[in-house]
C-alpha cells in the first residue's frame, strides 16, 4: 500500500484537544444545539429513552472513576429499623407504610458529596441521606440529601455541576471544597442554582453530626393507593435531637484535629446505646392541587413550604447497629431511586428522570457486575426469581433449562404477578406533547425561594451565610466571576449582595436579566429584580433557631481537671449529665491518672494537647484550688486557656467549678449575670441545672459577636 503523502493526515493528532472557540459536540463529533435540557415528551413530560445526548453524557460521567463513588465517596452507614406509627394506606398500597406498628429493617448511608473517600467529614458540603428499606415487597431506596432542593433542574446538567465542584482538572486542587473558580463560574451562569446556594452557604452545610441533620427525598414522588388514586408526596426525616451545626472556624479546626469527626460520632453513639432517631414525615398533595402553588411541583430547585402543606409525622427511623465490615456494607451498598415497591412511583421531574438511568449505570462501573444486587448488603429479603443469567461474580444458582419468557418447558415460570398479588404497575398517566428539548416556563422563577430561605434565617444564621459567601468568593481569582455571583445575589437580597461585594472587591451590578439557561421568551416579571416590592415571605421551618433544644442526650461534655480536683463535685455533675444521656470525657494535662482530693483516681481520655475544644459540645472546669493551680502551671496554662477561649468564641456552654477564679480571670470570658446564659459560675443557684439547660440550647449564637470581641 502506498504511504500517504497528505500532510494533514501525517499531522493528525487526537491526543490533545483545545476547546477554545469550538462548538460543543457529542463524543461522535456531532454538534450539540441544546446542552441545557433533556429530551422530553412535552415541556413537563417524562424524559425520553431516545435522548442519546443525555445517555452518552451521563454514561461517560458514571464511568469516570473506579472503584470509589464519583460523588458521595466519603460516607458512613449503619443498620436500623423503620417503624410506621400511623398507617398511610389511605394514600399508598406500599405494605411497609400501610400497617400501623409494622417494622422494616433498613441500612442508612450518610455522606459528603464533593470530596474523595479520604477527605474530611467537615467540608462545607451537601450531605447525602440515603435509606434502603428491606421490605417484604422488595428493596425500596429513598436516596436523598440533608437539603430539600438541588442545584439544577435537569439531569443533563449534573455532570457539569459535579465537574465544576470537583478539583480542577489541570492541578487537582482543591479537595472537597467549592471555594474555587470553576464551581463559582458555573454557579454564576446558572441562576436556577441560587436557592441551593443559600442552603449550601448556610450552617446546614456544616452539621454538628449526622444524627443532627434532616433528610429529604428532594424530588416530588407519587403515592398510589389500592383504588388507583394518586397523591403527590414529599419525604422528610426530622432528627429527634434537633438540627444543629458547628461554626465554620470550628469546622476547619476539627478537620485538622479529627477528620473522621462525623464518622466517629455516629459509630460511638450507636456503640454507646444512644441510638440516632428521626421522625419520618410526609407532605401529601392531592393530584388536583398540582398547579395551585406559585412554583412547579416537578422543579427540584423548589420546596413546598411547611406553612402551605404541613409535614405529617407518621414513622420513626432508628439506627441501632454498626456495620461488621465497613467495605462489605457501607462501601458496597448500592442505592438507586428506581428501586421501588408498589404504591410509590416517579414524577416527570427531569432531574429524577435522569437519575433513573444514571444510578444503575454507576453501579455497573463501580461494583463491576450486573450482579451487584447479590452482594449481601444489597440483597432483597425476598428470593429473586427471574430469567437473568450469568454475568461477572454470579452468586445465585438457578436450576433448570429455561432462561426466557414466555416458556412452556418451565411451566411458564417465573410468571408475571397480578397487581392484586403485589405486581408492580406504573401509574397510568396521559403523556401527550411535542418531542422537545426545552425547559418548562413553570421552572423559570429562580429567586423567590432563595429569598424565602434567606428571609427565614435568624440574625446569626444570616451572618454565617454572608461570611460563607465572602470566604468562598475570596478564593475565586477571576473578578468577572465574582461580579456575576454578586449580581445574582442582588436578585435575592440587596443588603446581602452589598455586604459580599464590599469584601470581595466588586461593584454591585443590577443585572437586566440573569445569565444562564432561562428561556428567551421568559416573562421579565418572574425575575423579581431588587427594584420591585421587597419579598417578605418567611418560614419558621427553615431556620435552625426553631429546632429541638430540650435535650442533652449524646452531647459530649469535656471535664478539664487536674490532681487535687474535688471528686464529689466531679462525680455529682458527671452522674447528672450521664443520667440525661450526655457523654462525659475527662481531659487533663497528660494521660496519667488524675488523683482527686479524696484519693480516688480519674482516667483521662484526652490530654490538653491531644484534642481541642472543637471536639466537645461544652466544658466543665473542675473545682478545687489545687486542680486550678495545676491547670495554670507553666505546662498546662496555654492549653487550658486555649480550650476555654475557643469554646467561648464558639458560643458553647462553659461551667466554672468552685475555686477556679484564677482560670476564669485569665481567660477571655467576660460574664455578666443574666446576659450570657451559657457561662455558668458555681456560686449561682442550681448551677448544675443551669449548665444542663445551656448545653441543651446547643449554642448562644446571638452573643457570637460579643464573645469574639471580649471587652
Residue 313: pLDDT band by 50, 70, 90 thresholds? very high
pLDDT, tens digit, for every residue of 375-392?
Answer: 999 998 888 888 888 888
Of 458, 443, 466, give the one whose Cα is nearest residue 541. Answer: 458
Q: Which of 55, 1, 2, 46 is nearest to 26 (CA)?
A: 55
Classify residue 347 as exposed, middle or buried by CB count within 10 Å of its CB (0-12, 13-18, 19+).
buried
Angle at 692 (CA atoms; ends 553, 266), nearest 5 degrees: 25
Would you say 138 and 380 are in contact if contact means Cβ atoms under 8 Å apart? yes
* Percent of the chain at pLDDT exceeding 70: 92
Active site residues: 72, 145
**595, 589 Cβ separation under 8 angstroms:** no
Among 78, 17, 36, 129, residue whose Cα is nearest residue 436? 36
> Does residue 447 sit within a domain?
no
The C-alpha torsion from 504 through 508 and 513 to 518, rounded to 10°, is: 20
Query: Is residue 218 scored above 50 in pLDDT?
Result: yes
Is residue 393, in this structure, part of any structural domain at all?
no
Same domain, 509 and 658: no
Q: What is the pLDDT of residue 63?
A: 67
Residue 515 has pLDDT above 50, yes or no: no
C-alpha cell at 425: 404497575
DSSP class per residue in 23-71: --B-TTSPBPS-SSS-EEESTTSPBPTT-HHHHHHHHHHHTSS-SS-SS
List the CATH number of the domain containing 48: 2.40.180.10
Out of 73-82, 134-143, 354-363, pick the least confident: 354-363
- Residue 418 or residue 134, greater confidence: 134
pLDDT per residue over 600-655, tens digit each?
999 999 999 999 999 999 999 999 999 999 999 999 999 999 999 999 999 999 99
Least confident of 432-436, 631-635, 679-683: 432-436
- Reported as a pLDDT band with limits 50, 70 and 90, residue 514 is very low
Position of cell 466544658?
A: 619
pLDDT for 11: 44
**pLDDT score at 399:** 84
Residue 416 placed within a domain: no
46 and 93 share one domain: yes
Cell of 620: 466543665
Residue 465's nearest CA partner among 436, 438, 495 is 495
Q: With 90 as the cut, is the pLDDT of residue 36 above it?
A: no
Q: In this structure, are 200 and 291 located in the same domain?
A: yes
Would you say 555 and 583 are in contact if contact means Cβ atoms under 8 Å apart? yes
Round to whole Å and give the CA distance between 52 and 50. 6
Whether residue 530 has pLDDT greater than 60: no
Domain boundary among 337, 362, 378: 378
Model confidence band, residue 681 (pLDDT cutoffs 50, 70, 90):
very high
Q: How far is CA 360 from CA 31, 69, 113, 367, in A?
A: 28, 13, 18, 10
Question: pLDDT tens digits, residue range 253-304?
Answer: 999 999 999 999 999 999 999 999 999 999 999 999 999 999 999 999 999 9
Claim to verify: residue 646 and residue 559 sit in the same structural domain: yes
Same domain? 126 vs 228: yes
Q: What share of the chain is helix, strand, coil (3-state, %, to 5)?
A: 35, 15, 50
Q: Within this chain, do residues 515 and 583 fall inside the same structural domain, yes or no?
A: no
In a domain, 684, yes or no: yes
Determine what percent of the chain is predicted with pLDDT higher than 90: 71
Higher pLDDT, 606 or 432: 606
CA distance 418 to 426: 13
Count of domains for the chain: 3
Question: Does pLDDT of 403 surpass 80?
Answer: yes
The closest of 677, 668, 673 to 701, measured between CA atoms, is: 677
Note whether residue 345 is domain-resident: yes
Q: Where among 542, 575, 593 does a domain terminate? A: 542
Query: Of 63, 131, 73, which is closest to residue 368 (Cα–Cα)?
Result: 63
- Helix (H), strand (E), coil (C) string for 228-263: CCEEEEEEEEEECCCCCECCHHHHHHHHHHCCCHHH
Closest CA to 492 of 95, 198, 180: 198
Q: What is the mean pLDDT of residues 519-540?
A: 58
- CATH number of the domain where residue 491 is located: 1.20.1370.20
In the predicted model, what is the mean pLDDT of the chain? 90
What the block records as the C-alpha cell of 314 is: 407518621
- pLDDT tens per residue, range 137-181: 989 999 999 999 999 999 999 999 999 999 999 999 999 999 999
Work out the pLDDT band at 55, boundaries 50, 70, 90: confident
Report pLDDT for 129: 98
Residue 175 resides in a domain? yes
Same domain, 72 and 101: yes
Q: Where are the alpha helices (DSSP H) in 64-157?
A: 95-98
The string of pLDDT tens digits covering residues 474-488 is 999 999 999 999 999
Same domain, residue pair 460 and 366: no
Give 398's pLDDT tier (boundaries 50, 70, 90): confident
Q: Are residues 520 and 564 in the same domain?
A: no
CA dihedral 449, 454, 457, 461 (to 10 degrees): 140
Closest to 190 measured CA to CA, from 503, 504, 481, 502: 481
Instruction: Give me the domain span that covers residue 665.
Output: 549-708
Position 71 pLDDT exceeds 90: no
Q: Are residues 91 and 169 in the same domain?
A: yes
pLDDT of the residue at 4 = 43
Residue 97 has pLDDT above 60, yes or no: yes
Of 495, 526, 542, at which residue does a domain stop?
542
* pLDDT of 12 strictly over 60: no
Find the mean pLDDT for residues 329-346: 92
Q: Which residue has the cell 466537645?
A: 616
Q: Is residue 493 part of a domain?
A: yes
The average pLDDT across 330-338 equals: 92
CATH at residue 674:
3.40.50.880
Is residue 445 assigned to a domain?
no
At residue 521, does pLDDT exceed 70?
A: no
Q: What is the mean pLDDT of residues 300-319?
A: 98
pLDDT at 512: 46
Question: Are 590 and 643 found together in one domain?
Answer: yes
What are the phi and psi torsion angles at 349 (to 5°)?
Answer: -50, 120
Mapping DSSP onto H, E and C, the string for 568-590 reads HHHHHHHHHHHHCCCEEEEEECC
**Do 553 and 538 have their domain in common?**
no
Amino acid at each position: 500500500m502506498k504511504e500517504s503523502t497528505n500532510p494533514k493526515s501525517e499531522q493528525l493528532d487526537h491526543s490533545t484537544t483545545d476547546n477554545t472557540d469550538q462548538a460543543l459536540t457529542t463524543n461522535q463529533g456531532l454538534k450539540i444545539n441544546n446542552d441545557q435540557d433533556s429530551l422530553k415528551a412535552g415541556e413537563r413530560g417524562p424524559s425520553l429513552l431516545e435522548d442519546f445526548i443525555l445517555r452518552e453524557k451521563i454514561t461517560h460521567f458514571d464511568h469516570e472513576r473506579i472503584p470509589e463513588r464519583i460523588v458521595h465517596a466519603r460516607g458512613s452507614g449503619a443498620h436500623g429499623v423503620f417503624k410506621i406509627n400511623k398507617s398511610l394506606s389511605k394514600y399508598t398500597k406500599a405494605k411497609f407504610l400501610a400497617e400501623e406498628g409494622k417494622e422494616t429493617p433498613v441500612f442508612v448511608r450518610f455522606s459528603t458529596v464533593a470530596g474523595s473517600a479520604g477527605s474530611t467529614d467537615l467540608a462545607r458540603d451537601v450531605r447525602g441521606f440515603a435509606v434502603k428499606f428491606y421490605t417484604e415487597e422488595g428493596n425500596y431506596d429513598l436516596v436523598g440529601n440533608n437539603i430539600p432542593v438541588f442545584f439544577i433542574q435537569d439531569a443533563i446538567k449534573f455532570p457539569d455541576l459535579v465537574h465544576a465542584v470537583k478539583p480542577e482538572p489541570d492541578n487537582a486542587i482543591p479537595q472537597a471544597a467549592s471555594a474555587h473558580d470553576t464551581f463559582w463560574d458555573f454557579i454564576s451562569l446558572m441562576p436556577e442554582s441560587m436557592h441551593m446556594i443559600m442552603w449550601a452557604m448556610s450552617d446546614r452545610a456544616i452539621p454538628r453530626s449526622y444524627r443532627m441533620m434532616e433528610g429529604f427525598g428532594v424530588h416530588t414522588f407519587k403515592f398510589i393507593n389500592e383504588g388507583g388514586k394518586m397523591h403527590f408526596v414529599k419525604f422528610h426525616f426530622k432528627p429527634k435531637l434537633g438540627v444543629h451545626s458547628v461554626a465554620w472556624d470550628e469546622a476547619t479546626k476539627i478537620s485538622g484535629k479529627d477528620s473522621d469527626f462525623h464518622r466517629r460520632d455516629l459509630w460511638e453513639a450507636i456503640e454507646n446505646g444512644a441510638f440516632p432517631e428521626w421522625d419520618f414525615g410526609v407532605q401529601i398533595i392531592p393530584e388536583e392541587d398540582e398547579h395551585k402553588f406559585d412554583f412547579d411541583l416537578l422543579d427540584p430547585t423548589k420546596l413546598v413550604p411547611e406553612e402551605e402543606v404541613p409535614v405529617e409525622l407518621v414513622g420513626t427511623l432508628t439506627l441501632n447497629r454498626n456495620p461488621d465490615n465497613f467495605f462489605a456494607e457501607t462501601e458496597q451498598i448500592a442505592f438507586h431511586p428506581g428501586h421501588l415497591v408498589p404504591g410509590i412511583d416517579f414524577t416527570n421531574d427531569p432531574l429524577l428522570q435522569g437519575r433513573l438511568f444514571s444510578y444503575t449505570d454507576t453501579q455497573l462501573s463501580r461494583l463491576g457486575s450486573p450482579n451487584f444486587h447479590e452482594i449481601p448488603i444489597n440483597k432483597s429479603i425476598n428470593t429473586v426469581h427471574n430469567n437473568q443469567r450469568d454475568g461477572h461474580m454470579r452468586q445465585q444458582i438457578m436450576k433448570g433449562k429455561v432462561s426466557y419468557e414466555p416458556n412452556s418447558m418451565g411451566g411458564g415460570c417465573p410468571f408475571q404477578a397480578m397487581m392484586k398479588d403485589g405486581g408492580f404497575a406504573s401509574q397510568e398517566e396521559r403523556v401527550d406533547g411535542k418531542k422537545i428539548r426545552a425547559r418548562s416556563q413553570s421552572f423559570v422563577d429562580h429567586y423567590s425561594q432563595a429569598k424565602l430561605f434567606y428571609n427565614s434565617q435568624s440574625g446569626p444564621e444570616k451572618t454565617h451565610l454572608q461570611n460563607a459567601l465572602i470566604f468562598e468568593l475570596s478564593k475565586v481569582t477571576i473578578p468577572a466571576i465574582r461580579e456575576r455571583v454578586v449580581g445574582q445575589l442582588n436578585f435575592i437580597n440587596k443588603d446581602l449582595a452589598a455586604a459580599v461585594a464590599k469584601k470581595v472587591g466588586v461593584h454591585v451590578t443590577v443585572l437586566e436579566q440573569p445569565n444562564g439557561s432561562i428561556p428567551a421568551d421568559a416573562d421579565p416579571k418572574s425575575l423579581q429584580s431588587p427594584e420591585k416590592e421587597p419579598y417578605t415571605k418567611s418560614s419558621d421551618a427553615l431556620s435552625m433557631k426553631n429546632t429541638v433544644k430540650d435535650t442533652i442526650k449524646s452531647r459530649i461534655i469535656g471535664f478539664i481537671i487536674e490532681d487535687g480536683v474535688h471528686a464529689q463535685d466531679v462525680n455529682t455533675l458527671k452522674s447528672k449529665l450521664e443520667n440525661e444521656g450526655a457523654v462525659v470525657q475527662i481531659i487533663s494535662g497528660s494521660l496519667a491518672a488524675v488523683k482527686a482530693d479524696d484519693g480516688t483516681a480519674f482516667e483521662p481520655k484526652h490530654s490538653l494537647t491531644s484534642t481541642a475544644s472543637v471536639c466537645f459540645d461544652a466544658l466543665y472546669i473542675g473545682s478545687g484550688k489545687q486542680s486550678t493551680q495545676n491547670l495554670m502551671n507553666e505546662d498546662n496554662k496555654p492549653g487550658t486557656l486555649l480550650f476555654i477561649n475557643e469554646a467561648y468564641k464558639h458560643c458553647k456552654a462553659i461551667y466554672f467549678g468552685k475555686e477556679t477564679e484564677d482560670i476564669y480571670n485569665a481567660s477571655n470570658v467576660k460574664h455578666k449575670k443574666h446576659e450570657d446564659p451559657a457561662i455558668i459560675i458555681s456560686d449561682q443557684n442550681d448551677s448544675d441545672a443551669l449548665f444542663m439547660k445551656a448545653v441543651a440550647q446547643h449554642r448562644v449564637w446571638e452573643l457570637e459577636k460579643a464573645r469574639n470581641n471580649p471587652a
